[in-house]
Amino acid sequence: MSDSSVKTKMSVPLLDLRAQYSAIRDRVRESVDRVFESQAFVLGAEVEALEEEVARYSQTRHAIACASGSDALLLAMMALDVKAGDEVITTPHTFFATASSVTRLGARPIFVDIDPRTYNINPASIEAAITERTRAIMPVHIYGQCAEMDEILEVAARHSIAVVEDAAQAIGAGDKGRRAGSMGAIGCFSFYPSKNLGGAGDGGMLTTNDDRLAERLRILHVHGGVTKYHHTEVGINSRLDALQAVVLRAKLPHLDEWSNQRARHARRYIELFAQIGLTDKVGLPFVREDARHIFHLFVIRVGASRDALINHLRENGVGTEVYYPVPLHLQKCFQYLGYKEGDFPEAERAARETLALPIYPELTDEQLHYVVDVVRQFFEPK
């Protein structure tokens, strides 16, 4: 062990889903049995019940289940008739699927740099990116905090452009009392297992308050035909399994408590880093006023020492990850879009300087102290 390592080694994973399972184990097993007895595996009553529950939770009129968060984004673009030659304004600091949903339809993602405090799209830079080809603005509620929706909705309304929320990391997040997924034309959610509400596999959901868009999405996700074998347009096959629906329905009643617990841990991290006087070395998450941040991820900024800190954390049993190491405008597959290094300096800096620390509801205070101590040891080796 190097002399900078902490005395008693602990193991603190980035995320621990086993602890969560014990809270829902009985209900999940009962419901899984029920699905097998019914032998109704795709869509059906359980999926419809989940749609109603997610619509209520997200304060929207409609929710339409689909097979993944990536599909939700693609379906949202399809429902808005995004096609070749169109442009969609979004952030380069996000998961790949945000932009690939646009390029899959032959349209172009137009990137706009991020606000270095929140890592969300910088609303002040959006208007300059709008052209007569702009079909949508797609903010991502990164790490579980909503993008600045008032500013985004205002500029979108002024130009009559739809807003699609990539809320994959933000189910239950709030902005001035409004829920993620309820503010734009369409909200897109992911139930990938590591998300705050995660299934036992892939899953996704679309939310909208627009009856017409809801109807369109219901057609598009079943091959463009609500009546079997009669297709009004070409959709895709993106349905949710009943098995996923029962797992998600078992978890949903716990989601608020779990997200509050994450937020409590985040406040504790922030408190402890301030107490030991590390705030000049460790850039802490910024929570906007009037925001409900659900802390899907707890991301810190540490400058040029980032990779060395990652090694130090791993050597000491602390899970960590970089979200995301390559901004989307510099991805090889998007070279044809013509972006180059230096185009979005804040997104590029975030990719170089940030890392995530463990956060999940069941994280203990002892584990949290240990993580902070391991970080402290890195900056102030004894």
Identified binder of ligand PLP from the candidate list 31, 58, 68, 377, rule CB under 6 A: 68
For residue 224, the one-letter residue type is: G
Q: Does 66 participate in binding ligand PLP (rule CB under 6 A)?
A: no
Q: How far is the CB of 179 from ligand PLP (least distance, A)?
A: 17
* Range in contact with ligand PLP (rule: CB under 6 A) among 62-70, 149-157, 298-306, 352-360: 62-70
Per rule CB under 6 A, count of chain residues that contact ligand PLP = 15
Tokens 């959610």 belong to 189
Tokens 């240990």 belong to 370
Residue list 311-330, contact with ligand PLP (CB under 6 A): none
What is the distance between the alpha carbons of residues 43 and 46, in angstroms, rounded to a whole number?
Answer: 7
Q: How far is the CB of 140 from ligand PLP (least distance, A)?
A: 5
Tokens 């929140």 belong to 118
Give rounded-to-5 percent helix, strand, coil for the chain: 40, 15, 40
* Range in contact with ligand PLP (rule: CB under 6 A) among 68-76, 143-151, 208-216, 309-317: 68-76
What is the distance between the alpha carbons of residues 225 and 319, in angstroms, rounded to a whole number?
Answer: 45
* Range in contact with ligand PLP (rule: CB under 6 A) among 76-84, 94-102, 118-126, 236-244: 94-102
Identified binder of ligand PLP from the candidate list 65, 76, 97, 357, rule CB under 6 A: 97
Q: Which is nearer to ligand PLP, 60 or 196 (CB)?
A: 196
* Three-state SS at 176: coil
Return the structure tokens found at 80: 């808005």
* Range in contact with ligand PLP (rule: CB under 6 A) among 47-55, 166-174, 176-184, 266-274: 166-174
In 176-200, which positions are buried (b, 16+ CB within 10 angstroms) versus exposed (e)? Answer: eebbbbbbbbbbbbbbbeebbbbbb
Residues in contact with ligand PLP, shown as a per-residue x/- string from 167 to 206 under the rule CB under 6 A: -xx--------------------x-x---------x-x--
* Three-state SS at 160: coil
Residue nearest to ligand PLP (CB): 69
Give the angle subtended at the CA of 203 by the CAs of 107 and 101, to the nearest 5°. 5
* Range in contact with ligand PLP (rule: CB under 6 A) among 21-29, 95-103, 206-214, 270-278: 95-103
CB 110 within 8 A of CB 337: no
| Binding residues for ligand PLP (CB under 6 A) | 68-70, 94-95, 97-98, 140, 166, 168-169, 190, 192, 202, 204
